[in-house]
């Protein structure tokens, strides 16, 4: 089968074809098009590698760089029968780094409280809710994801940049996958390390992670469920963060599996627990927990290694009938310990954790591995 492509766009990035023949992998080097003229590209794929009814798209190496129509909208999947033998397509525009972002799909950012009282810690904290763009014109109920370090998630002015989750949620909404409420809890500045360390006074004298976890689970979640249209069950509740925020989220999921079924774990500070000495609970019936693990190879020599060791511990704990884990690991060879790379990974994690639909995914990267233990 021969695929020919013509594109007017002035963009010298390589072009790939992806579809139902390669698990919608948008940067599969086996399916990189060859340039056969200034604006003409093509690829020949052997028929035995293709299904009878082909669905496909063109990308510049990722769903953040996928083809768009002349109005900047996401193009529908292209469809063609294999028996046709040849197809010629035109791409008029390309998405660049997830943009353009459409204001009409942006989530509604609300301040739940400037000073939400934390009885477990006897202090207050600013807490945000990011609601789906159509929250107030619908009667739907939504799953909820609790995220740490709100200062670095979507607000301008952070010294470290931010994840731009408002923009990424608008992209997900375009795909019809933005029906998630994000509850973003600001960190406690000078108290951040103590609050995100569970029980390790060698790292943080007077560590307060146990109390912080109880705040989210016993105080904040009931408030959110009472005041917003949430799906309250564990199957629709997740928690996550990056760095130390990822570490305290692991503890939250392991200690309260009856509350959280989804963990978003970016660049976790596993150096705090080098032996992965997490407290594990025994249950008659193991809880299923989905874990999205991300790390960058440029974060230091031990980040990726520790993530892989953590994977092995997950497998061992499952064999002991403690949990039923399902996890996906994404390693970015270029990734540093920064908001920029966590921002890039955020929509992929949301898609897998809450939608897990590969018909037209936000992205499945070649270095990702998905395990069902």
Q: Which CATH number is 18's domain given?
A: 2.60.40
Q: CA–CA separation, 265 vs 285, rounded Å?
A: 24
Mean pLDDT of the chain: 90
Do 67 and 140 share a structural domain? no
Q: Which of 94, 127, 157 is the last residue of a domain?
A: 94
Q: Which of 94, 120, 136 is the last residue of a domain?
A: 94
The token duo for 337 is 């310990």
HSE, CB side, 13 Å, CA atoms: give it for residue 151: 13
Burial class from Cβ neighbours inside 10 Å (0-12, 13-18, 19+) for residue 37 reads: exposed
Structural domain count of the chain: 2
The model carries a pTM of 0.83
Do 110 and 87 share a structural domain? no
CATH code where residue 192 lies: 3.40.50.1820
Of 169, 126, 133, whose CA–CA distance to 148 is shortest? 126
pLDDT at 371: 40
Do 246 and 143 share a structural domain? yes
Do 16 and 147 share a structural domain? no
Instruction: Give pLDDT tens digits for 190-242.
Output: 999 999 998 776 666 778 999 999 999 999 999 999 999 999 999 999 999 99
CB 204 within 8 A of CB 193: yes
- Tell me the pairing of strands 144-147 and 237-242: parallel
The residues facing 340 across adjacent strands are none
Q: CA–CA separation, 148 vs 100, rounded Å?
A: 27
Q: Is the dihedral of CA 56, 57, 58, 60 positive or negative?
A: negative
Do 223 and 190 share a structural domain? yes
Do 112 and 90 share a structural domain? no
Q: CA–CA separation, 328 vs 356, rounded Å?
A: 11
> Which residues, 6+ apart, have CB-to-CB distance to 318 below 8 Å?
286, 324, 325, 373
Instruction: Give pLDDT tens digits for 253-288.
Output: 999 999 999 999 999 999 988 787 787 766 777 899
Q: CA–CA separation, 295 vs 335, rounded Å?
A: 7
Do 268 and 181 share a structural domain? yes
Instruction: Give pLDDT tens digits for 28-37.
Output: 999 999 998 7
Instruction: Give pLDDT tens digits for 127-182.
Output: 999 999 999 999 999 999 999 999 999 976 555 679 999 999 999 998 788 899 99
Domain that holds residue 83: 2-94
The token duo for 358 is 């590969």
* Residue 360 clears pLDDT 70, i.e. is over it: no
CB 323 within 8 A of CB 257: yes
Q: Which of 94, 120, 150 is the last residue of a domain?
A: 94
Distance from chain centroid for Cα 241: 10
CB 170 within 8 A of CB 162: no
């Amino acid at each position: 089968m021969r695929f020919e492509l013509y594109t007017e766009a002035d963009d010298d990035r390589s072009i790939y074809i992806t579809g139902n023949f390669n698990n919608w992998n948008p940067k599969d080097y086996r399916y990189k098009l060859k340039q056969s003229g200034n604006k003409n590209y093509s690829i020949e794929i052997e028929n035995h590698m293709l299904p009878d009814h082909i669905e496909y798209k063109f990308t510049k190496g990722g769903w953040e760089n996928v083809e768009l129509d002349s109005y900047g909208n996401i193009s529908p999947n292209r469809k063609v029968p294999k028996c046709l033998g040849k197809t010629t397509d035109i791409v008029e525009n390309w998405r660049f780094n997830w943009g353009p972002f459409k204001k009409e799909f942006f989530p509604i950012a609300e301040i739940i409280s400037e000073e939400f009282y934390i009885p477990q810690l006897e202090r207050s904290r600013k807490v945000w809710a990011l609601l789906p763009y159509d929250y107030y014109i619908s009667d739907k109920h939504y799953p909820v994801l609790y995220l740490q370090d709100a200062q670095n998630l979507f607000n301008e002015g952070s010294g470290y940049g931010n994840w731009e989750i408002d923009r990424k949620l608008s992209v997900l909404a375009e795909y019809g996958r933005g029906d998630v409420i994000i509850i973003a809890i600001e960190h406690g500045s000078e108290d951040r390390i103590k609050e995100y360390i569970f029980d390790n006074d060698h790292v943080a004298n007077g560590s307060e992670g146990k109390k912080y976890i109880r705040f989210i689970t016993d105080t904040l979640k009931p408030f959110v469920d009472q005041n917003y249209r949430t799906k309250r069950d564990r199957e629709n509740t997740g928690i996550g963060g990056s760095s130390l925020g990822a570490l305290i989220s692991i503890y939250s999921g392991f200690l309260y599996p009856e509350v959280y079924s989804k963990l978003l774990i970016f660049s976790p500070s596993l150096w705090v627990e080098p032996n992965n000495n997490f407290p594990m609970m025994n249950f008659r019936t193991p809880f299923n927990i989905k874990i999205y693990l991300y790390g960058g190879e440029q974060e230091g020599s031990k980040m990726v290694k520790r993530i892989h060791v953590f994977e092995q511990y997950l497998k061992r704990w499952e064999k002991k009938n403690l949990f039923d884990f399902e996890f996906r690991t994404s390693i970015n060879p270029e990734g540093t310990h920064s908001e920029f790379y966590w921002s890039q990974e955020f929509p992929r994690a949301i898609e897998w954790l809450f939608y897990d639909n590969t018909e037209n995914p936000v992205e499945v990267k070649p270095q990702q591995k998905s395990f069902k233990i």
